[in-house]
């Protein structure tokens, strides 16, 4: 019969495997492993090992939900992880900071930007108070703070945050590490918002091959970089290339995240704008309707992405 100690060790191994699967973009596997961790943790008597296991389980489950666009389920999972993490690791631990960061990302996707900012600030206060904080944890936080400012279209505030993330990770992990490449991609999108389109496009094209090599051509994070590139290409009038890129983004996300993932809404909306500009209004309407169906009920009613889809759908219908 397994001892409590061996179960606790098994939980740690399963939880690590779950987060490794998330890094590889294998979110169905992340969720399966997270639920195995949850079942094993629930078998333990009350105490720190049980609480540690619950925190690990709900964080993995929340990560899988968020990646697949199930933002409300992700919020619930991270909220359930928090008290267990506090009990197991302490309120000012790295583990608690990670869950605040996870909640910040989830709130951003839901369009609850003020809550996202507060969650990120709580993570920041914890990490900056630790004498031995991992630079990569700080880089992840700066990356996400930059992403929040980007979502608010405050590009001037976003740029130094994104640049700081890139500088930290480049120094500690190297310029071709996956996380560093993702920082560069995020920074390039912000440069585009600042009107530096040529620099932004050159940056994304320069990192894309490395990103595809280290993550795989069908990784969801590759799709994010491709979507950013497509927007730049579209803005300079290369509609045919933009359409191909958006369709590739959609195919990757459908394959890896599922056809009902809310994460499909943005590239669908972007594809619709290309089709509408080309006079293909019937196709555009179908695409906008699908994006709207994915977003409604999944994000807050005043989310900027939802407002954009509704506006685009109304415009294409009025043109009929």
Reported residue count of the chain is 320
Structure confidence at residue 147 (pLDDT) = 94
Mean pLDDT of the chain, nearest integer: 93
What is the percent of the chain where pLDDT is above 70? 98
- Concatenate the DSSP letters of all residues of 58-116 into one string: HHHHHHHHHHTT-HHHHHHHHHHHHHHHHHHH-TTSHHHHHHHHHHHHHHHHHT-HHHH
Cα atoms in the 13 Å half-sphere on the side-chain side of 78: 25
Structure confidence at residue 133 (pLDDT) = 84
Q: Does pLDDT of 176 surpass 80?
A: yes
Tell me the C-alpha distance between 283 and 232, whole Å: 22
53-105, pLDDT tens digit by residue? 999 999 999 999 999 989 999 999 999 999 999 999 999 999 999 999 999 99
Right CATH for 216-320 from 1.10.3720.10, 3.40.50.1100, 1.25.40.10, 1.10.1040.10 = 1.25.40.10
Identify whether the C-beta of residue 253 lies closer than 8 Å to the C-beta of residue 220. Answer: yes
193-229, pLDDT tens digit by residue? 999 999 999 999 999 999 999 999 999 999 999 999 9
Q: Does pLDDT of 319 surpass 90?
A: no
Q: Does pLDDT of 1 surpass 50?
A: no
Backbone angle region of 70, left / alpha / beta, with phi > 0 → left and psi within -120 to 50 → alpha: beta
Tell me the C-alpha distance between 102 and 132, whole Å: 21
Cβ count within 10 A of residue 43: 12
User: Using CB atoms within 10 A of its CB, is residue 32 exposed (0-12), middle (13-18) or buried (19+)?
Assistant: middle
Helices (H) and strands (E) in the chain, counts: 15, 0
Identify whether the C-beta of residue 127 lies closer than 8 Å to the C-beta of residue 108. Answer: no
Identify whether the C-beta of residue 291 lies closer than 8 Å to the C-beta of residue 269. Answer: yes
What is the percent of the chain where pLDDT is above 90? 86
Token digits of residue 67: 């990646």
Question: Which one, of 189, 178, 90, lies nearest residue 140 by Cα?
Answer: 178
> Which of 3-7, 20-24, 216-220, 243-247 holds the top average pLDDT?
243-247
- pLDDT band at 298; cut points 50, 70, 90: confident
Q: Does pLDDT of 121 surpass 50?
A: yes
Cβ count within 10 A of residue 320: 7
- Give the 3-state secondary structure of residue 279: coil
- pLDDT band at 5; cut points 50, 70, 90: low
Structure confidence at residue 101 (pLDDT) = 96
21-56, pLDDT tens digit by residue? 999 889 999 999 999 999 999 999 999 999 999 999
Extents of the domains making up the chain: 1-96, 216-320
Tell me the C-alpha distance between 293 and 298, whole Å: 9
Structure confidence at residue 201 (pLDDT) = 95
Structure confidence at residue 302 (pLDDT) = 83
Q: Does pLDDT of 297 surpass 80?
A: yes
What is the torsional sign of CA 264, 253, 62, 123? negative
Tell me the C-alpha distance between 139 and 146, whole Å: 10
């Amino acid at each position: 019969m397994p001892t409590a100690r061996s179960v606790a060790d098994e939980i740690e191994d399963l939880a690590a495997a779950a987060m490794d699967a998330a890094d590889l973009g294998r979110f169905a596997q992340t969720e399966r492993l997270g639920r195995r961790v949850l079942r094993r943790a629930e078998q333990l008597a009350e105490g720190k090992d049980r609480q540690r296991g619950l925190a690990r389980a709900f964080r993995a489950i929340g990560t899988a939900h968020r990646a697949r666009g199930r933002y409300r389920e992700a919020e619930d999972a991270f909220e359930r992880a928090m008290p267990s993490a506090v009990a197991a690791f302490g309120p000012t631990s790295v583990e608690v900071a990670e869950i605040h960061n996870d909640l910040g990302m989830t709130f951003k996707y839901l369009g609850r930007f003020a809550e996202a900012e507060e969650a990120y600030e709580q993570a920041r206060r914890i990490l900056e108070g630790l004498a031995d904080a991992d630079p990569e944890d700080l880089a992840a936080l700066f990356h996400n703070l930059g992403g929040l400012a980007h979502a608010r279209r405050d590009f001037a505030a976003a740029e130094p945050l994104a640049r700081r993330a890139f500088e930290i990770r480049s120094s500690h992990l190297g310029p071709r590490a996956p996380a560093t490449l993702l920082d560069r991609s995020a920074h390039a999108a912000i440069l585009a918002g600042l009107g530096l389109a040529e620099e932004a496009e050159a940056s994304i094209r320069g990192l894309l091959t490395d990103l595809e090599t280290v993550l795989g051509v069908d990784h969801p994070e590759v799709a994010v970089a491709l979507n950013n590139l497509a927007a730049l290409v579209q803005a300079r009038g290369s509609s045919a290339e933009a359409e191909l890129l958006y369709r590739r983004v959609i195919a990757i996300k459908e394959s890896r995240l599922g056809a009902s993932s809310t994460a499909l809404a943005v590239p669908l909306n972007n594809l619709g704008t290309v089709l509408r500009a080309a006079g293909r209004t019937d196709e555009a309407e179908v695409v906008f309707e699908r994006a709207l169906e994915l977003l409604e009920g999944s994000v807050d009613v005043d989310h900027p992405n939802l407002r954009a889809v509704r506006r685009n759908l109304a415009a294409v219908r009025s043109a009929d």
